[in-house]
Amino acid sequence: MKRPIDRGLILRLVAVLVLGLAILITGESDAARYSYDSTVIPENSIPELDRQTYIFLTEYGKDVKEMSKKYGVDWRLVLAVLRQESAFDPSAVSYMGAQGFMQIMPSTGLHLALTHNIEDLSNPTMNIQLGIIHLRDLMRSFPQANGKNRIELAIAAYNCGLSRVEDAQSIAEFLGDDPNSWPAVKSALPLLSSRYAPLQRHIWRSGRPNSGYFGDYGQTLTYVGNVMHYYTLYQNVLPRSAGQF
């Protein structure tokens, strides 16, 4: 009596044969270029870990990890800020004059360099170091905020300045919200624009925010959202300690 043909088994064998033939022809699977700790991650599961990120990590990943560890910042958060700030372009210059990988403003860079004895501000690695120090200092500026709130407040301050975020905290507190909660500060940022001058006169003696009116709050909100998106992506894809980098 003949055994029935297992069509499922035949299909699986054919699929394995085709995959093996493809790898033999190309030399490696496309997903192999995104391997960390010898674990091949299917490329369709990491659609936003592009080759630009991989190339940056190959050249600067070890430095980013070492400096992030030194200053107590998650290296994947640093990577997210790098991606949003400069798209990994060391020669990037913003219309405001921010420079390098981490888009450090000249005044901020000079202050940090003098404080931490860093001489060559044009060096890409030094630019990353200054950015990590600045991010660390900003997170220290919100000691009452916990977890994700602290990170989001620091990221907002990285974009629009610490004083702007502190002004938004003052509004949140005046309205009875938690000034250490990012959702509360996020809602308060638009209230720093000049159209809310009547409200501001009840908060500041000068009648306006300490840092002046702020109309570009939308850019900051988008910035925080993007950085947190990339941070979540890198947390899911990259282990906290990736041996290859």
* Pair of tokens at residue 41: 């991650």
Q: What is the CA radius of gyration of the chain?
A: 24
Residue 154: closest CA among 74, 89, 87: 74
Q: Pick the catalytic residue: 28, 85, 119, 173?
A: 85
Cα 64 → chain centroid = 13
Cross-strand pairs, 67: none
- Residues whose CB is less than 8 angstroms from the CB of residue 190 and which lie 6 or more positions away in sequence, other chains included: 196, 217, 218
Active site residue 85: yes
Query: Could you write out the DSSP letters of every residue in 223-245?
Result: HHHHHHHHHHHHHHHS-SS-TT-
Catalytic residues, which ones? Answer: 85
